[in-house]
Copies of this chain bind each other. A is one copy, B any other.
Amino acid sequence: MAVMPPSARSPRRVTIPDVARHAGVGQATAARVLGGYGSASPATRERVLAAAAELGYSTNAVARSMISGRTNTLGVVVADVENAYFARAVRGITDVAVEAGLQVILANSDEDGEKERAAVQLFIERRVDGLVVTPSTARHDHLDRAVATGVPVVLLDRALRGAALDSVVADNRGAARAAVTRLTGHGHTRIATITSAPDTGDPDQPATGGDVWTTTERVTGYQQALRAAGVPRSGELIRHAGYRRCGARAAVLDLMTGPARPTALFTTDNVATLGALDALRDLAARIPGDVSVIGFDDAEWTTLIRPRLSVVSQPAQELGGLAARTLLRRIEGADTPPRRHTLRTTFVARESVGPAPSRVRRLRYEESS
């Protein structure tokens, strides 16, 4: 049973020749029944299986990969699994992969292009069968190289302008437009947006990266909605608060106590939403009495607060699942032209949106209690 060579670090594992010998058959025969290919008579089959069980044989997938050229592995690069959105996407990818008999190696880029490149490089060396990447920079030569090497790549959450790569993204612009249109529909004319999108200085031309940044797309949608509603736009109301929650909090604190106080808030990501609500809590602002709020991403806590938060909900898990399925198709050899899959988001109307207040109630900062 337990054949443990004394104090061996790496007890030599049972191999096919071992099993073959034990079963009294040729190596190739044993390999055939254990590998489940070729054919063998029921009798030998039986003998080999018995021998394998007895010796505790287990396939060496590394050796198999060496020959087959396939590792049954998907490499996945996301910004950060701790972010609920990415966690859900990863779950979606993993489920589809496992279903197809593949496993997933996970890497976090922290929005750092270098980390992303390093991870992709390692993945290629490991001969993953395909790559799902949430790109963190507009550069994509490393991804192109992967494809050229024979490793298909599918972009998740963000498309890359000018890259011949499949991508699976949400309709960020449309989602933001729909959300902000709700706000204008309620008579709001001073609608602020809190975003992690980089500030380009030009409110009309939100970002350079094109469609890399989902949040940029959302700001664009915000602007389109305002324009469509004939609401004057103001750079004052677009706050680039960075990736940190406290940044968003500070921005909203400033906005709500300043001269150009908005009557509605639209956040373009869940971190911004948290920070904005932190600020409103500290100001004891009434929602939607003092200010209406629409968040992005339907986190588990959005129904917990009172009033429950109206949000744009992204199908994160489906995005991941579709990315994985697209990748699997490529791995199986599909060579249709790269395509962008845009998934619809849904607006979840709850109670945080109301009519624009006729008079503004003074708000002041109070230590939360």
Residues of A within 8 A of B (CB): 1-2, 4, 8-11, 13, 37, 56, 58-63, 65-66, 69, 71, 73, 80-82, 84, 87-88, 90-91, 94-95, 98, 103-108, 121-122, 124-127, 145, 148-150, 245, 274, 277-278, 281, 299-301, 303-308, 333, 335, 351, 368-369
Closest to A316 in B: B82
Query: Of B4, B8, B368, which is within 8 A of A306 by CB?
Result: B368
Q: In the bound complex, do residue B1 and residue A37 qualify as a contact, i.e. CB atoms below 8 Å apart?
A: yes
Q: In the bound complex, do residue B82 and residue A108 qualify as a contact, i.e. CB atoms below 8 Å apart?
A: no
Closest to A145 in B: B56
Find chain B residues with CB under 8 A from A63 CB.
66
What's the Cα separation between A56 and B141 when bound, in Å? 14
Q: In the bound complex, do residue A306 and residue B333 qualify as a contact, i.e. CB atoms below 8 Å apart?
A: no
Closest to A122 in B: B103
Known: A1-B37, A62-B66, A127-B60. A105 touches B105 (CB 8 A): yes
A-B contact pairs, 15 of them (CB 8 A): A4-B148, A9-B335, A60-B127, A62-B71, A62-B127, A63-B66, A81-B90, A82-B84, A82-B87, A94-B107, A94-B108, A98-B107, A106-B106, A281-B306, A305-B305
Q: In the bound complex, do residue B304 and residue A9 qualify as a contact, i.e. CB atoms below 8 Å apart?
A: no
Find chain B residues with CB under 8 A from A91 CB.
80-82, 108
Closest to A118 in B: B98
Find chain B residues with CB under 8 A from A148 CB.
2, 4, 11
Q: In the bound complex, do residue A94 and residue B106 qualify as a contact, i.e. CB atoms below 8 Å apart?
A: yes
